[in-house]
Amino acid sequence: MRAEAQNTVAEIEKSLELLGQRLGVETAQFRLEEFNARVEDPNLWDDPEAAQKLMRDRQSLVDAIDTYEGIKQDLADNIELIELGEMEEDEEVISDAEAALKALAVKSAQKELEALLDGEADSNDTFLEINSGAGGTESCDWASMLARMYVRWAEKKGYKVELNAESAGEEAGIKSATYKITGHNAYGWLKSESGVHRLVRISPFDSAAKRHTSFTSVKVYPVVDDNIEIEVNPSDIRIDTYRSSGAGGQHVNTTDSAVRITHHPTGIVVTSSEKSQHQNRDIAMKALKSRLYQMELDKRSALVNEVHESAGDAGWGNQIRSYVLQPYQMVKDLRTNYETSDTKGVLDGDLDGLMGATLALNVSGKSRSEAKG
């Protein structure tokens, strides 16, 4: 087998190993038999909610088994074809099998990433909150660049993006923005982005063309679906209406319909500035419940997201990722040491590599310091 094909086979085998670990391949068939036995219980649908959950869990297991076994079989079939082609010196058979292996490597890598998204709320939609930090106009411009990056990423995924609230910067960019991103595993993907993002570049706002450092914080919260009960005591919140500020245009409303909800016990503040005050109350309440749910997830989790461990201002000491545009081109995640020189691609929304590395790190259970080592 040619060296390139051997490397492709090794990549696929590595993905299969992780898929097998996430599936629990040794016990998967036994667990499926248990599910099948429970499905046949005549009293199953006495509790429709529990029955629906059981059916969803069973289907997830079936899909995971089929994916693992399918990739494993396709790998074996193509290795056999290559060996047969080499024995018969049939270059066409070898080339076709090598091309099939490359396609299988892409598929297995994607399934490997998807297998990491099995947290309690990973499949949910998500709220994405962006706030400019230290650096004034520079940070406001950086916040708008990050907003564009995430919108581009979401659009490439086929997700729906809604701008819930936005506050424009005094000279350029945005002070803050909140998006709702809707799509399967939206939260699971984006949760790794919570933290402070640092930009180093030659400032377009500096006539002396000096290098500037800017910070912007990103926070991600799962949208709480109807199956998750989050109680909010009316006496714990204050609801204010106000005139939305911003540059105007289709995204920013300038009537008095904007809504701000303050949750006194936690100090959480959420806003929404769509056209309808009733709609804004509903959006803001959902955002508050999502924030409270995220806090509960963090309490339960043994691997608390680092942005919540080191909650603080968007500035030095809290950053998770650096984007350096001058004097060289490099994006580096400080948690995983994953880096790429394709800064343009990243800022245009090519984030799966960075996200995938962090998801894999979270699964491995290593801390930031261990990852650096």
pLDDT tens digit at each of 373 positions of the chain = 889 999 999 999 988 988 888 888 899 999 999 999 999 999 999 988 888 888 988 988 898 899 999 999 999 999 999 999 999 999 999 999 999 999 999 999 888 877 777 777 788 889 999 999 876 888 999 999 999 999 999 999 999 999 988 998 888 899 999 999 998 889 999 998 999 999 999 888 776 778 888 999 999 988 876 555 677 888 888 988 876 654 443 433 344 578 888 988 888 888 887 667 778 888 888 888 888 877 776 665 543 344 334 444 555 556 899 999 988 999 999 989 999 999 999 999 999 889 988 887 766 554 433 433 3
Q: Are strands 237-242 and 330-333 parallel, antiparallel or unpaired?
A: unpaired
Q: Are strands 211-222 and 237-242 parallel, antiparallel or unpaired?
A: unpaired
Could you give the 3-state DSSP secondary structure of residue 40? coil
At 232, list the tokens: 């909010």
Q: How far apart are the first and last CA of the chain?
A: 36
**Predicted local distance difference test score (pLDDT) of residue 293:** 78
- 372 Cβ partners below 8 Å, 6+ apart? 334, 337
What is the Cα–Cα distance from 74 to 298, expressed in whole angstroms? Answer: 39
**Predicted local distance difference test score (pLDDT) of residue 306:** 40
Sort 350 into a burial class: Cβ within 10 Å, 0-12 / 13-18 / 19+: middle
Placement of tokens 């290593």 in the chain? 366
**Predicted local distance difference test score (pLDDT) of residue 227:** 55
pTM, 2 dp: 0.65
Q: What are the angstrom distances between the C-alpha of 349 and each of 7, 157, 183?
A: 28, 10, 16
Helix or strand (DSSP H, E) at 373: none
- Which neighbouring-strand residues pair with 167? 176
Backbone dihedral region of 331: left (phi > 0), alpha (psi from -120 to 50 degrees) or beta?
beta
Residue 39 burial (CB count, 10 A): 12
**Predicted local distance difference test score (pLDDT) of residue 29:** 93
Placement of tokens 């993006």 in the chain? 161
**Predicted local distance difference test score (pLDDT) of residue 315:** 53
What's the one-letter identity of residue 349? G
**Predicted local distance difference test score (pLDDT) of residue 308:** 39
What is the Cα–Cα distance from 341 to 346, expressed in whole angstroms? Answer: 9
Q: By C-alpha distance, which of 186, 191, 220, 105 is closest to 363?
A: 191
User: How much of the chain is helix, strand and coil, in % rounded to 5?
Assistant: 50, 20, 30
